[in-house]
Amino acid sequence: MSSILTNNSSMIALQSLRQTNLSLTQVQSEISTGKRISNAKDNSAIWAISTVMTTDAESFKTIRNSLDLASSTVGVARSAAEQVTSLLQDMKSLIIAAQEESGRSLIQADINELRAQISGIVNAAQFNGQNLLKGGGSISVVASLDRASDQSVSAALININRVDLQAIGGVMGTVAIVAGAGLATASGASIAAAGSQTVTLNAGNVATGNSFRVVIGGTDTIEYISRENDTMNDVVRNLKSLIDARSITGISVDITQVADPGMTNSVLTIRNANAGAVSLAASSFTGGTPGGGLGALAGIDVETSDVSAASALTAIDGLITTSINAAAALGSFQKRIDNQGEFMTTLVDSITAGVGTITDADMEAASARLQALQVQQQLGIQALSIANQSAQTLLTLFRN
């Protein structure tokens, strides 16, 4: 049956042409933007995933810049610590020469100049307002963003400990700490051979000038005065370094650092490998004046007597060890930061490539589809024209 009101062939041709035009518009959009999925309408799930990943990639670029800044900050401190080590080695040569009595006053003058030069280097070793060779505590650098399966994000940090190399002598406090930041161990406790004893540092805030003293064997006294921004973790770390530097025969130290030293105790474990028992005592005070890691430089004296010259030679070795350890620690931090920065660069590249894989248009396929759709469009127009002309045949039915 033919109808002049309803042209089914025309409707079918029109629907086909409309679909071809929609596909053609999509392909032209892919070619012009280079994106197969450029907005949420194209594919909401993939668009959401790619947008989150792109946002993370931009965040990682920012983190990389922050890591570069941190690397420069640590690098300045490391270079300064290495220079300080070199100057301390020069000072040791002078002290060795001073073991003879002649020319001690001139040697002492040279030592004083080197000490002043070391102080100048330490004071100048700052970058971006941060000096890692002065004070206590640490600085934190954002190393990465960790995204969990529930899409929650947390920052991963690298904590860089300051290594104080100031040539300032400290003064122990005299008033006992009653609560908060304090040491706890049995006074006069004995460590048997192959045994150990723990020194517990009570959780709490550490104030500048809190003083901590550990006596081993009744003769070796290790003292640390907390600096600005120190935590209990910093205190145990520095006490360990001081004990290690003392090189007490048979004595070794382990430390337990905690996530929140304001809420959980930090622990210093002192081990004894001597043949006999070793006594251990600990105490803590307030009201001290913090000193620097090279505070003993202030007491280097080769001029007064043979005894002072010999003491200076013993002291300088410990100071050189302190400086070397500081430079090595900073070098490790810088290496870790640089490695993390390289990883951030690789990660950004990988994310960018991954996003491109799921969202970028296949230009070869798009070109082929464009040509095919253009042919289909022309054929559709031709088919629609033919369908529209079908009604004209009905006129022949009414001709004489």
Q: What's the pTM value of the predicted model, to 2 decimals?
A: 0.73
Which residues of the chain are under the pLDDT cut of 70? 1-6, 186-187, 391, 394, 399-400
Between helices 104-124 and 44-97, what is the axis angle to 10°?
170
What are the start-end ranges of the H helices in 43-184?
Answer: 44-97, 104-124
Tokens 């039915």 label which residue? 397
In this prediction, residue 266 carries a pLDDT of 94
Question: Is there a contact between 229 and 210 (Cβ–Cβ < 8 Å)?
Answer: no
- Quote the distance between the C-alpha of residue 84 and its chain's center: 25
> What residues have CB less than 8 Å from 50, skipping those under 6 apart?
37, 355, 358, 359
Residues 85-106: pLDDT tens digits? 999 999 999 999 998 878 888 9
**Element holding 284 (H helix, E strand):** strand 278-286
Q: What is the pLDDT of residues 6-39, one digit of tens each?
A: 677 778 878 887 887 787 777 777 777 777 777 7
Output phi, psi for 83, to 5 deg: -65, -40
- CATH architecture, domain defined by 35-169+294-360: Up-down Bundle (1.20)
Give residue 132's pLDDT: 93
- Is-contact 351 53, C-beta < 8 A? yes
Give pLDDT, residue 68.
93
Tokens of 298: 């202030």
The class of domain 171-290 in CATH terms is alpha beta
Q: Which of 136, 118, 138 is nearest to 73 (CA)?
A: 138
3-class SS of residue 181: coil
Q: Which pLDDT value is given to residue 75?
A: 95
pLDDT above 70 as % of the chain: 96
Domain-wise residue ranges, the chain: 8-34+361-398, 35-169+294-360, 171-290
Q: Looking at residue 19, what is its pLDDT?
A: 85
Provide the pLDDT for residue 5: 66
Same fold, 35-169+294-360 and 171-290: no
- Number of Cβ within 10 Å of residue 198's Cβ equals 16
Give the separation between CA 352 and CA 64, rounded to whole angstroms: 15
